[in-house]
Structure formats: C-alpha cells, structure tokens
Chain A
Amino acid sequence: DSGVTQTPKHLITATGQRVTLRCSPRSGDLSVYWYQQSLDQGLQFLIQYYNGEERAKGNILERFSAQQFPDLHSELNLSSLELGDSALYFCASSVSPSREDIQYFGAGTRLSVL
C-alpha cells in the first residue's frame, strides 16, 4: 500500500457527462501529480500541484481541470466526456516537487465512458 488513496476505483458513465476523481496524498506529501494511462497513448502526465498551487501542466485537455485543496487532497474534473477519455487515471504524491523525492502512486481510477 503506497499510502495514496484514490476514489472511486471504477467509474462508468456516458458520453457528455462530467465526473470527479479524488486523490488523497500520503501523509506529509505536499505535491500531487495526475497521470492518464490509455491503450493508445500509454502513461502520460497531466498536471502537478504543490501545496495548493499548480506547478506544471502536461497533455491535459481543456475539458479537464484539477485543483488541490487546503487539506492537500486533489480532484481531477473531467467534463464533456468522450469515448476516448476511457482510461486509468493515476494520482501520485511526493513530499515536495524536488526530483530527489520519489513519486508514490495510488491504485488508480478506471474510467469507462460508454
């Protein structure tokens, strides 16, 4: 168990809908990362937060947004869902954004868009 908690484990929804994925980082970790794992694109970095502020953006669609709250949990919001958004979404956390700090991954949320 990495200590990173993601809910829900599975999510099934329809095209056009909006969903929210939740991540609780390890105790003491201030930095949160979101990654998407899909069959065609592999594992891709989406966005990073540190202590409530956005630090880096990757290949995140405009339909997707995220935030990190004062209690350090993070949410990834996906809207106007398309079939191609079906993927495994991972959250990872580290103590700080420093490269010396290892990223620990949660178990992921599997999103199925029908």
Chain B
Amino acid sequence: AQTVTQSQPEMSVQEAETVTLSCTYDTSESDYYLFWYKQPPSRQMILVIRQEAYKQQNATENRFSVNFQKAAKSFSLKISDSQLGDAAMYFCAYQIQGAQKLVFGQGTRLTINP
C-alpha cells in the first residue's frame, strides 16, 4: 500500500528565513502526482504546489518550491522568505492511480517567529 511519511511533526522558522519540510513516500508506481497542501487555523485545505512524477523539473509557485527526488522517493517543500501567513499545518499527499484519491502524510506544523 502507498504510504506518505512526514518525519517532522513541528518546525519553526524566523520570519523572512527559508525553511524546508520533508516528505517521503512509498509506491511501486512510476506515474503519479505529489502535492503539498496547507491547512491554516481556518481549517481550509489549500493546495500549495503539485508535482507530476514524470516531469524531472521541480515545481515552483512563487516563494514555494519542491525538491523532488524520484529514486529516493523524497518530496520536500522549501518556503523562501517566510511570512507570518505561512504558519499552518502542511500536508504532503500522493495521488493514487485509478481511484484518484489522495493519501496524506501526518502533517508538519509550521510556526513562523516574528
């Protein structure tokens, strides 16, 4: 079964600094999607970034970028120039072929220190 592991339950960073959140996954598939979702205190799940496994180029969205290492099954999220509004739970997710359901990691709570 596919699993997603986030080994950092909590992380903190100073405002304006850079932070990297880790994620590893286990799958036997060769084609899949990976996601980072953000859940602020409002509870809303917000898509941060998406990576297609067959694309070698790492996805970027403004201050958010990923380091996708397919062979190592690693998918980390880098947040540059951290802002107070980035404080949230961050979930790494994998999309299973066929059912299209998302499989989520346990989450990393990110705190931004002013």
Whether the pair B100, A56 counts as a contact (CB closer than 8 A) is yes
* Cβ–Cβ < 8 Å partners of A63 in chain B: none
Q: How long is the Cα–Cα vector from A56 to B42 in the complex, in angstroms?
A: 28
The range of chain A's interface size is 20 to 34
- Count of chain B residues near A, Cβ 8 A: 23
Q: Mind listing 26 A-B residue pairs with CB under 8 Å?
A: A42-B104, A42-B107, A43-B102, A43-B104, A43-B107, A45-B101, A45-B102, A48-B100, A55-B99, A55-B100, A56-B101, A58-B101, A88-B43, A90-B45, A92-B45, A99-B95, A99-B97, A99-B100, A102-B50, A103-B102, A104-B47, A105-B44, A105-B45, A107-B43, A108-B43, A108-B44
Q: Mark A71-114, 1 if CB is under 8 A from B, else 0.
A: 00000000000000000101010100111001111111010000
Where chain A touches its partner, the secondary structure class is strand
Smallest CB–CB gap between B51 and chain A, Å? 12
